[in-house]
Structure 1
Amino acid sequence: MDVEKYLARIKYSGPKNASPNALEELCICQLNHVPFDILDMFGGPRKVLDLPTIYANVVDRMRGGYCYETNALFGWLLTNLGFKVDLLAGHVWAEKFGPKFDHMALMVTCDDGSKWLADVGFGASQSIKKPLPFVEMQENSQIDGLFRIRRWEGGDGDDYVLERKQKQVHNKTDSNLYREKLVSDPQWNVAYRFDTKPRRMDDFKSMNEFQQDDPDGFLSNNTLCNRKIDNGDVALWGWVVRTKRYVDPYTEEITNIEVAKTDKELKDLLLKYFDVKVDYEISVQNRHF
C-alpha cells in the first residue's frame, strides 16, 4: 500500500499535512474520483474488509466501494498523513434506524486539535462533500446542502445524528423518470445516527456480510454507482444514469438522464461517467427505484 499512489488516484496535489484545509481538499478529491460503487454485489467478487484488498480494488483496479471500504481506506490514508482517525459506527435512517454498524463514518482530529466528521462513503446524493466541524447544532452550508450535527435525545448521551435540510429538486430534462420535489417549508432530515466510540474494522465485518446477503436490503436489491462532480453529482441506479447540478445549498436541478438497455450500454455508461470498467455481466436490480 502506497500513499503516493493513493494521492495520485484521487488527483490530490495539496499539502501533505494534518491541517483542516488539507482534510477538506482530500475529502473533495476522494469523492470526486472514487465512486460509491456496489456493482460487485451483482456479479463480481465478494466485498471483503481487508485493507490491502480494498486498496488493490480502489487504487490498482480504479474502482470504488461503499462505506466500510472507502471510509476505512481513506482513514488509513489520513492516518499516514498525520491525522488522528477513529472509525465510527452508524445506523442509517430510512423511515426508521437500521441496525448498528450498518454505516461507517470517520472522526478526524487535525493537528490544531479540531475534530471533524468526515464521510466519503455514504453515496453522492446524500453525503457531505466537505468534513463538518464536530460542533452541535452548528449549521454548515455547502454547495451540496445545509448540514448540522445534533445530539440524539433517545441515545445514551454519546449519540448524535447527521441532518440535512430538505431541498428543492427541479427536473430540467424531458424524462419523467425523476419527479420534481417542491418543498414549501423545508425540514431537517436525518441521514444517520452515530456515536463517538472508536471502533475497529473487525467490528463491521458481520454487517458487511449481512449487507451483501440480506434478501430485503436496500443495497443488495439496487445496483448503484455514484460520485460527486464539480457542483453536482452523477448517479447510476439500475439501468438509469442521471446527472444533478447543485444550484445552491437549497436547490438542485436534474440536468441529464440516460437509460441503458443492454449490458454493453450499461458498461459504456459506467466508463463514460465513472471511469469504471467491469469485466463481468451485471445482474441489474432496481427494486426501490
Structure 2
Amino acid sequence: MNSAQVDAYLFRLGVVRPPRPTGEALRELHLRHLRTVPFENLSIHLGEEIVLEEKRLLDKVTGTPRGGFCYELNGAFAALLTALGYEVELLAARVYGDEGRLGIPYDHLALRVGTADGGTWLADVGFGAHSHYPLDWAERGEQDDPAGRFRLVAAGPDAAGAGDLDVVRDGRPQYRLETRTRVLGDFVAGAWWHSTSPLSHFTKSLVCSRVTEDGGRITLGGRTLTTTAADGSRDKRELESDEEVLGVYRERFGIELDRVPAVRNGDRAWPATAPGRRPRLAGDRAWPATQPGPGP
C-alpha cells in the first residue's frame, strides 16, 4: 500500500494520519470506518466480481467508493493499519447461527492488532452490528461499548487463552475466533460460498448499513430503510420508487449506483471456474429481499 493510497483511505474516513500507531488512534480509525464505509453485499446482486486481493479491495473502498462484507472491509482495513505501522494479523472465525450452530470454516475475517503503546486489540469493522471500538484482546471480563457489553471468552482446551475465543455480545455468542494467523487468500473459499450458495443469507437478501454520528445505525435492506437511534428505538419506512432508493444509497451511504440492485438467487448453478479464477457473481431470477442478521 503506497502513500497515495493511505492518504486516499484516510481522506474517506475523514481523519488525519496518526503520528504513531497507538491504541487511541486505532479507536478513532475503527469508529470512523464504521461511520463512513458501509457494510454491504451489493456486489453479489449487481453481478460484480469479488476478489480478495489488496489492490482490488483498496480500489473498491477508496476509488468507487463502496463498502463490502467482512472479507473486504477487514481485508482493506488490515492493509491500512499495516501501512500506518500497526502489527496486524488476520484471524478466521465461525459465526453462531440459529440454535447456536457454528457456520462454515472461514465464515468471518477479523483482525488482531498490536499497537506501539503495548496493547493488543480485536478490531472488526466487517460484522454488521458489532462493537464501535476495538476490544482489548487480553481482557476476559466485560467490556462496555456503545453497541453493548462484550466479552472474549476462552472456548478451546487451554484456559490460558491459547485456544479459540468466543466473542460474546450482551450475553450472546457472536462468533468463535481462531487464534492462528491466516493470510487473505485463505478466505477465498468462504467468500465464494457466501457469495454464491443459496444457503448463504447474503445471496437471499440485500443490505447496506453503517453506524451514524449519534451512535445509532442506518440500514437499507432491500427497499426498507431502518433508522435505529442510540437508545435502540427504530423507525422503518418503505421506499416506493427506484429514484428514492438510489437517492438513499447516494445521500446516506455515499454510494453512487446507476440501477437499483435486486436480490438474485434461485435456480442458478454454482459457477464453475478454471483454477485461479474468481467467479463473477450473478444469478438468474429475483428473490424477495429480507432483512439479514450480522455476518461476515
Which residue of 231, 251, 262 maps to 1:283? 262
Counterpart amino acid of residue 117 in structure 2: D
Q: How does 1:101-250 map onto structure 2 within 5 Å?
A: 101-123=106-128, 126-153=129-156, 158-165=163-170, 188-230=171-213, 231-247=215-231
Q: 1:107 to 1:258 in 2, by over 3 A?
A: same
Which blocks of at least 5 consecutive residues in structure 2 are unaligned? 264-287
Contact kept, 8 Å, 2:60 with 2:67, in 1: the verdict is: yes
Q: 1:258 to 1:269 in 2, by over 3 A?
A: farther
Which residue of 4, 15, 18 maps to 2:18? 15
Query: Per the alignment, in what secondary structure is the counterpart of residue 102 of structure 2?
Result: coil
For 2:158 and 2:255, how far apart are their aligned partners in 1? 40
Q: Deviations over 1:193-218 (max 9, x none)?
A: 11111100110011111111111211
TM-aligned CA deviation for residue 142 of structure 1: 1.4
For 1:288 and 1:59, how far apart are their aligned partners in 2? 27
Aligned length: 260
RMSD across aligned positions (CA): 1.8
Which residue of 50, 55, 58 maps to 1:52? 55
TM-aligned CA deviation for residue 264 of structure 1: 2.6
Match in the other structure for 2:97 = 94
Query: Per the alignment, in what secondary structure is the counterpart of residue 182 of structure 2?
Result: coil
Counterpart amino acid of residue 56 in structure 2: T
Percent identity of the aligned residues?
Answer: 31
Q: Deviations over 1:20-57 (max 9, x none)?
A: 00000010111110000111111241211111111111
Structure with greater proportional strand content? 1
Counterpart amino acid of residue 232 in structure 1: G
User: Which TM-score applies when normalising by structure 2?
Assistant: 0.83
Which residue of 15, 23, 27 maps to 2:30? 27
Q: Deviations over 1:207-233 (max 9, x none)?
A: 111111111211111100000112111
Deviates more, 1:37-46 or 1:108-117: 37-46
Counterpart amino acid of residue 212 in structure 1: S
Match in the other structure for 2:277 = none
TM-aligned CA deviation for residue 287 of structure 1: 4.1
